[in-house]
Chain A
Amino acid sequence: MKWIINALKGFWTILRRPSKAAVGIVLFMGFAGGLIFWGAFNTGMEATNTEEFCSGCHAPIVAEIQETIHYANRSGVRAICSDCHVPHAWTDKIVRKVQASKELFAYFVTQTINTPEKFKERRAHLAEREWARLKKNDSLECRNCHNFDYMDFSEQSPRSVRQHSTALASGDNTCVDCHKGIAHKLPDMHKVDGWQ
């Protein structure tokens, strides 16, 4: 115990004493250290955005996307979990990642979705949270790729034009109001607006 205190004291003395190294070297070391820390932090965070990482807990739900248009399509563009569920802007991303630490607690400690049965039971709750999040940020993650200003109505089917040129254009509705369950199976929809 004593040696730890001594080591800490020694470290503190080093910090307090003016450095004998040149200012340039000290600055360079700080710069290099910052670079390494920043790189490691971001790489670590990016690693939590991969399909393999998500599958660790959400395996059944990751499997569901594979037959949908966002995963299998003619042009080879693919959206993975993080493209829709993690904001792209850095500050928003950090906020979401901190929120996700609570979800880790739910998975590992209170164990709310650790079996397919429990997951099925909780599916409506999880879906509603995600719909509310997208509703609140005006479907930001959809709009990272689908820009309303770039939509060519002449290329859309009449059904789509009718909705996009009215409710979406006026801002009354946002993408997720109609496009629910585009990448996943749906929970019980009988009480959800627009479904029956």
Chain B
Amino acid sequence: MKKSILLTLSITLTLISGFAVSEERGIGGVESLRGTAELEATRVADPMKKVPRDQVDIESSYVFQPPLIPHHIRSYEVSLNANKCLSCHGWKNAKQMGATKISVTHFTNRNDEVLADVSPRRYFCLQCHVTQADAKPLVGNSFERVKSLQ
């Protein structure tokens, strides 16, 4: 008797949980930034964002923020062989090209020693400096600049 009750109970529980699982399979009806596409489905890609050719300088949001790149950089090579950014923003050419000079902080190595040229750890510009596309923020936020930069 005890055994059969246990058996019935376990079968009922298994069935219920089975239903529950089948109800909540995949995204379980929860909409996210990914939309309502199921996990196993490939969602249609969003259109690519376009980087404007030129835009007004984008102001910093916090102190020591790496300045953002206000122009497009398609096919600008930054590699062991060549650095297209430095051909305008390096100190040698910046004035003639009317470009912003790279900051003096880029000449120090990690021991705070000042070098004669750009420090290798600062060579790959795009690690910190990035372009901006005219994209709508994915989620709202209430970020404000620090007072000193407002």
Please tell me which stretch of B1-9, B26-34, B74-82 contacts chain A, meaning at least 4 of its Cβ atoms lie within 8 angstroms of it: B74-82
Cβ-neighbour of A159 out of B71, B79, B92, B93 (below 8 A): B71
Cβ contact within 8 Å between B77 and A186: yes
Interface string of A130-149 (1 = CB under 8 A from B): 00000000000000000000
Residues of B close to A195: CB separation below 8 A: 82-83, 86-87
Assess the A196–B83 pair: CB atoms within 8 A: yes
Instruction: Collect the chain A residues with CB atoms within 8 Å of residue B97's CB.
Output: 159, 162
Rounded to whole angstroms, the CA-CA distance of A182 and B84 in the bound complex is: 11
Q: Is the CB of A185 within 8 A of B77?
A: yes
Contact between A186 and B81, CB atoms less than 8 A apart: yes
Interface size class of B (residues with CB under 8 A): 10 to 19
Cross-chain contact of A68 among B53, B75, B80, B117 (Cβ < 8 A): B75
CB-defined contacts of A162 to chain B, threshold 8 Å:
97-98
* Least CB separation from A157: chain B residue: B54
Question: What is the CB-to-nearest-CB distance from B47 to chain A, in angstroms, rounded to a whole number?
Answer: 13
The contact string, 1 if C-beta is below 8 Å from chain B, for chain A 180-196, is 01100111110000111
**Chain B binding surface SS class:** loop
A187 with B54, Cβ < 8 A, contacts A182-B75, A195-B87 known: no
Question: CA of A67 to CA of B74 in the docked complex: distance in angstroms?
Answer: 9
Report Cα–Cα, A182/B75, bound state, in Å: 7
B146 CB, min distance to chain A CBs, angstroms: 31
**Does A44 lie at the interface of the complex (its beta carbon under 8 Å from any beta carbon of B)?**
no
Chain A residue contacts of B92, Cβ below 8 A: 196
| Contact call B82/A157, Cβ cutoff below 8 A | no
Contact status of A157 and B53, CB under 8 A, knowing A162-B98, A195-B87, A196-B86: yes
Cα-based distance from A187 to B82 in the complex (angstroms): 7
Q: Report whether B87 and A185 are in contact in the complex, using a CB–CB cutoff of 8 Å.
A: no
Segment 13-61 of B: residues with Cβ below 8 Å from A? 53-54
Q: Answer whether residue A76 sits at the interface, using C-beta atoms and an 8 A cutoff.
A: no
Q: Closest residue of chain B to A180, judged by CB?
A: B82
Query: With contacts A69-B74, A157-B71 known, is A186 near B79, CB below 8 A?
Result: yes
Nearest-neighbour CB distance to chain B for A157, whole angstroms, equals 5
- In the complex, residue of chain A having the shortest beta-carbon distance to the beta carbon of B93: A194
Is A18 in the interface zone, CB < 8 Å from B?
no
Q: How far is the CB of B116 from chain A (nearest CB, A)?
A: 12
Complex Cα–Cα for A90 and B93 (A): 40
A158 within 8 A of B: yes
- Contact partners of B117 in chain A: CB under 8 A: 196
Residues of B within 8 A of A182 (CB): 75
Known pairs A186-B77, A186-B79, A196-B92; list 6 more (Cβ under 8 Å): A69-B74, A157-B71, A187-B82, A195-B86, A196-B83, A196-B86
List 17 A–B pairs whose Cβ atoms lie within 8 Å, in order of A's numbering.
A69-B75, A157-B54, A157-B71, A159-B97, A159-B98, A162-B97, A181-B77, A185-B81, A186-B82, A187-B82, A188-B80, A189-B82, A194-B87, A194-B93, A195-B82, A196-B90, A196-B117
User: Which A positions have Cβ atoms within 8 angstroms of B?
Assistant: 67-69, 157-159, 162, 181-182, 185-189, 194-196
